[in-house]
């Protein structure tokens, strides 16, 4: 439970740090070291757009990663649910068979007692 709160705290601090970087580097004239080479020249990127791009990329990749894990775990949960249901049904069948055998044994004991009484 504590690790959940630590994770949320670290995530909140990183979010605030990104917002701080975005606000500080909002000046469009400020360019970063990032440049994209094109056929006719070089396009310099504003630090603001680089930070926003990294943040959006992180959000989207986290979303895709959670969707992949969610589908994997969903399949596992369904598998274990079916397995548990099969075991439950098998336990019910075993219990019913055991009860039927106990009733048969009880009726055979009664029949044996009656046969021994009648023989005397």
pLDDT at 5: 81
Residue whose token pair is 């969903």: 74
Report the candidate in 68, 63, 23, 70 with the shortest Cα–Cα distance to residue 47.
23
Q: What is the pTM of this model?
A: 0.40
- For 112, the domain range is 2-119
CB 34 within 8 A of CB 50: yes
The number of distinct structural domains making up the chain is 1
Q: Which long-range contacts (CB under 8 A, 24 or more apart) does 48-57 make?
A: 48/22, 51/18, 51/21, 51/22, 51/25, 52/22, 55/18, 55/22
Structure confidence at residue 32 as a pLDDT band (50, 70, 90)? low
**Mean pLDDT, rounded, for 25-43:** 61
Mean pLDDT of the chain: 79
Query: What six digits make up the tokens of 34?
Result: 């990032």
């Amino acid at each position: 439970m504590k690790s959940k709160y630590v994770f949320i705290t670290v995530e909140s601090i990183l979010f605030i740090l990104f917002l701080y970087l975005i606000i500080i580097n909002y000046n469009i004239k400020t360019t970063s070291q990032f440049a994209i080479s094109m056929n006719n020249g070089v396009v310099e990127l504003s630090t603001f757009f680089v930070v926003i791009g990294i943040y959006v990329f992180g959000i989207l990749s986290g979303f895709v990663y959670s969707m992949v894990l969610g589908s994997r775990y969903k399949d596992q949960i369904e598998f274990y649910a079916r397995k548990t249901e099969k075991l439950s049904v098998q336990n019910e069948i075993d219990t019913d068979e055991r009860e039927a055998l106990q009733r048969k044994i009880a009726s055979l004991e009664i029949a044996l007692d009656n046969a021994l009484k009648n023989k005397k």
